[in-house]
Amino acid sequence: MKIVDGQVIVCSPGRNFVTLKLSTEDGLYGLGDATLNGRELAVASYLKEHVVPLLIGRDARRIEDTWQYLYKGAYWRRGPVTMAAISAVDTALWDVNGKALDTPVYQLLGGASRESVMVYGHANGRTIDDTVKAASRFLEQGYQAVRAQCAVPGLDATYGVGHAGAHYDPTDKGRPTESQWSTERYLDFVPGLFEKMRAELGPVPHLLHDVHHRLTPIEAARLGKSLEPYHLFWMEDAVPAELQEGFRTIRQHTTTPLAVGEVFNSIWDCHLLIEEQLIDYIRCSVVHAGGISHLRKIAALGEVHHVRTGCHGATDLSPVCLAAALHFDLAVHNFGIQEYIPHTEETDRVFPHRYRFEAGALHPGDAPGLGVDVDEALAARHPYARAYLPVSRKLDGTVHSW
Ligand code: CS2
Ligand code: MG
């Protein structure tokens, strides 16, 4: 089953996406998400200029060999651009092999380990009451898990809080906006949010929170301790995780479960966190961490060390990535939860898919392959528009993690 063509489709139905389409001599094709939010064209170029020429003529059934060929053969290993490109190739190969075998990918991954994939919604608000109301709406829709993010009083913007009613997309066309950050105000405020959430919603719903890389380990330890009475499902990205050892400090001080990994792009970014059981959930995604093949290896390491999966699933990861994640989630044993933010209707028209939401969970469907497609004519009507994620600064002007 030789690869005869590789197309890189860049489009922007509301936000930018990069999609790899690999076609085989059998007239089949597979899709892979290659979107790296804010640096999309770097991956598109890496694929077009350096990867696709190497794929032509290769046997599409040799998924693992192709992964190793692109990883070791590049010499310059790892990094978000390289690994997003490898992820896209890997995902497209799983897709086209599923189609060739007339089988949904989850069946190729060992079959279903559960009936469906529990997901979490995203409640946010400009006040605690608004956030609690938003969370209630998710629970009424059948969600069992909700992330809560609330505007911190005195700050001009807070991560995860969109404009009232607008579909949350933090990117800015043109140049990055700059938003304020105050650790003190944030740490003083967040425990009150979850005290109210628990008082209003009761003990059952899974509550999650994304710190978004903003704290030091000892600050994260303080926050984790302060949240213990509200037994969160997880506290995510408490600190930037380049220093994996930093999580030892957090772990020593709090029983609040820890999640990290959406910015990781290989097992080498997280093996110490997993081997030392410094985290409870690994957030690596299909599109950023080497595709389905590499994500399985990360999950396997996690299984040995009581770490469950919690794949990243924001709307800058395309429906192609979400479809692939759901096949992985359905099959992997140590599944934890899947992030889910519905894409815009236009995005869903560009990327028709078979996954379906029901009662707080998603199922990838049983179409051969991943069960997702791309309408290239419609995609062409949504040209790329350069956009950037915001930049964060402390109140004194010092650049901080956004
Ligand atoms: C966030 C992401 O969903 C999350 O957990 O961390 O929305 C993140 O801000 C974006 O994916 C960045 O592109
Ligand atoms: Mg996050």
pLDDT averaged over the chain? 97
How far is Cα of residue 52 from the mean position of the Cα atoms in its chain? 25
The finding on whether 37 has its CB within 6 A of some atom of ligand 1 is: yes
Could you tell me if 64 and 71 are in contact, meaning their C-beta atoms sit under 8 angstroms apart?
no
**390 is a domain residue:** no
Could you tell me if 141 and 121 are in contact, meaning their C-beta atoms sit under 8 angstroms apart?
yes
The reported pTM is 0.98
| Selected residue with higher pLDDT from 113 and 168 | 113
pLDDT tier for residue 156 given thresholds of 50, 70 and 90:
confident
The finding on whether 339 has its CB within 6 A of some atom of ligand 1 is: yes
Which pLDDT value is given to residue 58? 98
Domain count, the chain: 2
Q: Strand 234-236 relative to strand 206-210: parallel, antiparallel, unpaired? A: parallel
Mean pLDDT of 350-370: 98
* Same domain (yes/no): 147, 253: yes
Which pLDDT value is given to residue 164? 52
**84 is a domain residue:** yes
What is the number of the ligand 1 atom nearest to the C-alpha of 317?
11
Which pLDDT value is given to residue 287? 98
**DSSP characters over 76-139:** S--SHHHHHHHHHHHHHHHHHHHHHTT-BHHHHTT--SSSSEEEEEEEEESSHHHHHHHHHHHH
Mean pLDDT of 201-220: 98
**Helices (DSSP H) in 217-268: which residue ranges?**
217-227, 247-253
Taking the C-alpha atoms of residue 309 and residue 286, their distance in angstroms, rounded to an integer, is 12
Taking the C-alpha atoms of residue 326 and residue 362, their distance in angstroms, rounded to an integer, is 7
What is the number of the ligand 1 atom nearest to the C-alpha of 283?
5
**Closest ligand relative to 16 C-alpha:** 1
210 SS3 class: strand
The finding on whether 389 has its CB within 6 A of some atom of ligand 1 is: yes
The finding on whether 149 has its CB within 6 A of some atom of ligand 1 is: no
Mean pLDDT of 189-215: 98
* Same domain (yes/no): 227, 295: yes
Set 29, 46, 159, 340: catalytic member: 159
The finding on whether 262 has its CB within 6 A of some atom of ligand 1 is: yes
End-of-domain residue from the set 42, 69, 103:
103
Render pLDDT for 28-53 as a digit per residue (tens, 0 to 9).
999 999 999 999 999 999 999 999 99
Q: Could you give the C-alpha distances from 37 to 124, 214, 282, 287, in angstroms and in order? A: 21, 19, 20, 11
Which pLDDT value is given to residue 218? 98
Which pLDDT value is given to residue 162? 78
Number of H helices, E strands in the chain: 14, 18
| Length of the chain, in residues | 402
Taking the C-alpha atoms of residue 401 and residue 381, their distance in angstroms, rounded to an integer, is 35
Render pLDDT for 117-147 as a digit per residue (tens, 0 to 9).
999 999 999 999 999 999 999 999 999 999 9
Q: Could you give the C-alpha distances from 263 to 50, 207, 291, in angstroms and in order? A: 23, 22, 14
64 SS3 class: helix
Could you tell me if 355 and 371 are in contact, meaning their C-beta atoms sit under 8 angstroms apart?
yes
Which pLDDT value is given to residue 338? 98
The finding on whether 40 has its CB within 6 A of some atom of ligand 1 is: no
Lowest mean per-residue pLDDT among 156-160, 190-194, 348-352: 156-160
* Same domain (yes/no): 16, 145: no
CATH number of the domain that residue 10 is part of: 3.30.390.10
**Closest ligand relative to 159 C-alpha:** 1
* Same domain (yes/no): 43, 151: no
CA of 263 to the centre of ligand 1 (A): 9
CA nearest ligand 1 atom 7, residue = 314
Q: Token pair of 45, please?
A: 């170029």
* Same domain (yes/no): 141, 43: no
CATH number of the domain that residue 329 is part of: 3.20.20.120
End-of-domain residue from the set 103, 129, 155:
103
Taking the C-alpha atoms of residue 392 and residue 400, their distance in angstroms, rounded to an integer, is 5
Taking the C-alpha atoms of residue 265 and residue 76, their distance in angstroms, rounded to an integer, is 14
CA nearest ligand 1 atom 2, residue = 314
Per the structure, the complete domain to which residue 99 belongs is given by: 3-103
Backbone dihedral angles phi then psi of residue 208, each to the nearest 5 degrees: -125, 160
Render pLDDT for 249-277 as a digit per residue (tens, 0 to 9).
999 999 999 999 999 999 999 999 999 99
Set 46, 120, 209, 212: catalytic member: 212
What is the number of the ligand 1 atom nearest to the C-alpha of 168?
7
Residue 168 has pLDDT above 80, yes or no: no
Sequence-distant (6+) residues with CB within 8 A of 107 are 98
pLDDT above 90 covers a percentage of the chain that reads 95
What is the number of the ligand 1 atom nearest to the C-alpha of 402?
9
pLDDT tier for residue 166 given thresholds of 50, 70 and 90:
low
**Is 212 one of the annotated active-site residues of the chain?**
yes
* Same domain (yes/no): 131, 90: no
Q: Which of 210, 234, 287, 339 to mutate to test the pocket of ligand 1 (most atoms within 8 A of CB)?
A: 210
165 SS3 class: coil
Render pLDDT for 291-337 as a digit per residue (tens, 0 to 9).
999 999 999 999 999 999 999 999 999 999 999 999 999 999 999 99
